[in-house]
Structure formats: structure tokens, C-alpha cells
Amino acid sequence: MSLKSKMPLQVWILALAAFAIGTAEFVIAGILTQVAESLNISEGQAGHLITAYAMAIVIGGPILTLWLVRYRKRVVLIGLMALFVVSNLITAFAIDYTTLMISRVMAGLTQGPFYGIGAVVATRLVAKDMEGQAVGQMFAGLTLANVLGVPGGAWIGNMFGWNTTFIVVAMLGAMAAAAIAVAIPPQGAEEPKSIRSQIGAFRNPQLLASLLITTLGWVGFMTFYGYIAPIAEQVAGFERLSLTWILVIIGLGLVLGNTLGGKTADKNLSASLIGWHAAMIAALIVVGLVASQSYLFVAAAFVFGVVSFANVPPMQMRVMKHGGDAPELAATANISAFNIANALGGIIGGAVVDSTLGAAYIPFAAIIVPAIGLAFIIWQERKPAPTTTHALN
């Protein structure tokens, strides 16, 4: 296969799959109250579906990737999408909480391996000097899921029932699987690197610190975003159907923030890490203060979307910077760090919304862990950089 000077169709197909997977992960935030009412469970219990999905990625993703890397990549991607489709169909037709929880875990298991192996496939579809753009294009599907997939899924759920949302997600997954089977060229399996050599990268304390920064910083996002539905309905006073356009507005903020964060990280990584984390904490405080004022709440939530996603490029760059000879493993570990944060955010938000404090206090609860993270970042960034000799010891 000749390498292309422009982005080939196959990369867009991988982006479609990433869009479907990303929508499945985050759409629960837009239909949380519907799921709770339908299954006669609390909103906190419904939020635990976010935690279960995230923990499936954290624990199952790396293990599955180590096992699947020995097989042909196109076959693996098709198989992962097939499992994704089946999982979301089970979710769509679940009639009890246990079945729904199991199906969410099954769907979560597909995400880590697909993103990891799919990124390798994307780099092989383009010229060497376009590999980074190809990976970025694939992961743009995940960002787009927050702009279109989540609000679109919420609208479908509000109009036709939350079960229909997951049927549509399964259909997107089926389309992606079929397109991969037709358009992605066969690619052989690679001899995996020594596990010992890859794990050796984690002897670098700065890599471990970078992963901790990701976890501490990202908890605030999912604590708030995962429970946007009860906040908008119970505190801001919006009708349920309004959640669709609210999520679109926040999603646009996520896209803008991702772009801004990348630019500032290229200019000054340390200042970007500190500045955007501080801005996210400030935005959450403002959201909490104006939550009862409907349109001020939307404006503040948009700003939150900008500053929270502006954190993503700096956090990713710091991990890759300290990944040493195992950047792939470091990147996979960072996905786990993000999803540990997603799980913690689901737990914190669920505890608050089910308590006597209620949804109004979620934005304030969301700042606690990121505040610790900000202090940790400042401490790490003010430490003198180790010399080359120390780094080799």
C-alpha cells in the first residue's frame, strides 16, 4: 500500500469507531435521570455505571491489549467492535440494574485495546511525517462524541427512550466494524517488546508523577460532567429536553479548550499545566455559585468545558515526555489514569447527589481533588530538573 500525502479514508473510519465508543462512554451523563427512573434506582446508582465502565478500561484494557497484540490488527479491531455492538444491544434491552452494569463493563473492555491498536493502524496508513496527525484525527472522534454524540444521544433518549440511544450507538459500531472489514488493509501482528523493558519505564518518578497529575486533575471534570443532568434539571430549572442544547454548548467548549491547551502546552508546558488546572477550579466555583440562574449556569458550564479540556494536551504531553523507551505503554497508562479519574468522579458525584446536600453541591465537591492536584503540580514543576547522570541511575 502506497503512503498518502493526505489523510486517507481509513483513518476517518477509525475516527467513526472512536466516535461510537466515545459516545457510549459519556452518553450516560445525558440520560442519567431517565435510566434511574426507568430502573427505579437512585441517580447515584445510575452514576455508578460510569464508574464500572471506567474501571473496565483501567483494569481490563491493558490486559486485553497484551493478549490481542499477537493477532492480526484488522481482525482484532473487527472483533472488538463486534463485542462493542453486542454489549450495547444488551444495554439497550436490559430490564434490570445488574444486566445493565454487566453490559457496561463489557463495552468498557473494548475501549482501551481499540484505541491502542487502532492508533498503531492509523500510523501505518500514512507517511511518516503524518503519523501524529493520523493519530490525532482518529482521536478527534472521541472529542466529537462529546460535541455531537452525547447531546444527540440525550435528545434521542428524551424523544424515544434511553434504550433507543444505545440501539443507535450499536448501529454506529456495526457501521464502523463493516467499514473496517472492507477498507482497512490486512496488517500482520508484531513481536511485542519485552514486558520487563516496558515496565522499566515506570522506574522514572516523573512518569509516575505525570500519571498522578492526570488522575488528580481529571476527577473534577467527571464529577461535574457525569452529573450534569440532575444539576441542570434540579438546580438550574431546565426541562429535560433542554439538556440536548446545553450539552452541545459544553461540547463546543471542549473542542475549543482542546485546541487552546495544545497551543499553550507547546509554548510553555509547565505554565499550561498550572494555569489550566487553576482555571478549571475557578470555573467550578463559578458554576456552583450561579447554578440556580439558568442561563448564567450555561455560560459558566461552557467556560468550564473550555478550561477543563485545555488540561488534556498538557497532561498527555507530560506523560509522553517522561515515557522513556516505552511511550506506547505510557500512553496506555495515561488512558487508565483518565479513567481512574472518571471512576472517582462518578463515585464522588454519586455520593453528593444522593446525600442531603443534593445536586447543587456537586460543583463544589468537584474542586476538592483537583485542588490537591494543583498543589502537587506546583510542587513538581518547581523542583529542579534532574541531571542526565541522575536520570540514568
pLDDT tens for each residue of 143-170: 788 778 888 888 898 889 899 999 999 9
Nearest residue to 18 (alpha-carbon basis) of 26, 8, 6: 26
User: Is 77 a residue whose pLDDT tops 80?
Assistant: yes
**226: helix, strand or coil:** coil
pLDDT of amino acid 285: 96
Kindly state the helix (H) or strand (E) to which residue 24 belongs, with its residue range.
Answer: helix 9-26
Q: Say which residue, 94 or 8, is predicted with more confidence.
A: 94
Averaged pLDDT for residues 304-308: 92
Q: Name the burial class of residue 282, with classes exposed (0-12), middle (13-18) and buried (19+) by CB atoms within 10 angstroms of its CB.
A: middle
**How far apart (Å, rounded) are the C-alpha atoms in residues 5 and 148?**
29
Kindly state the helix (H) or strand (E) to which residue 256 belongs, with its residue range.
Answer: helix 243-267
pLDDT of amino acid 191: 59
Q: Name the burial class of residue 132, with classes exposed (0-12), middle (13-18) and buried (19+) by CB atoms within 10 angstroms of its CB.
A: exposed
C-alpha cell of 48?
455508578
**126: helix, strand or coil:** strand
Cβ-proximal residues to 370 (8 Å cutoff; 6+ apart), any chain: 216, 217, 219, 220, 277, 280, 281, 284
pLDDT of amino acid 3: 44
In contact, 69 and 189? CB cutoff 8 Å: yes
pLDDT tens for each residue of 309-351: 888 878 877 876 787 666 556 767 777 888 888 888 888 988 8
pLDDT averaged over the chain?
83
pLDDT of amino acid 2: 45
198: pLDDT confidence band, cut at 50, 70 and 90?
low
pLDDT tens for each residue of 54-67: 888 888 877 787 77
181: pLDDT confidence band, cut at 50, 70 and 90?
very high
* Percent of the chain whose predicted confidence (pLDDT) is above 90: 32
The H-assigned helical ranges of 32-130 are 32-39, 43-55, 61-68, 73-92, 97-124
pLDDT of amino acid 254: 84
**220: helix, strand or coil:** helix
* Percent of the chain whose predicted confidence (pLDDT) is above 70: 87
pLDDT tens for each residue of 98-153: 999 999 999 999 988 888 778 778 877 777 666 656 666 776 787 788 778 888 88
Nearest residue to 381 (alpha-carbon basis) of 308, 335, 309, 318: 318
**How far apart (Å, rounded) are the C-alpha atoms in residues 84 and 390?**
45
Q: Say which residue, 380 or 324, is predicted with more confidence.
A: 380
Averaged pLDDT for residues 296-300: 94
Cβ-proximal residues to 7 (8 Å cutoff; 6+ apart), any chain: 126, 130, 133, 134, 137
**190: helix, strand or coil:** coil
C-alpha cell of 8?
486517507
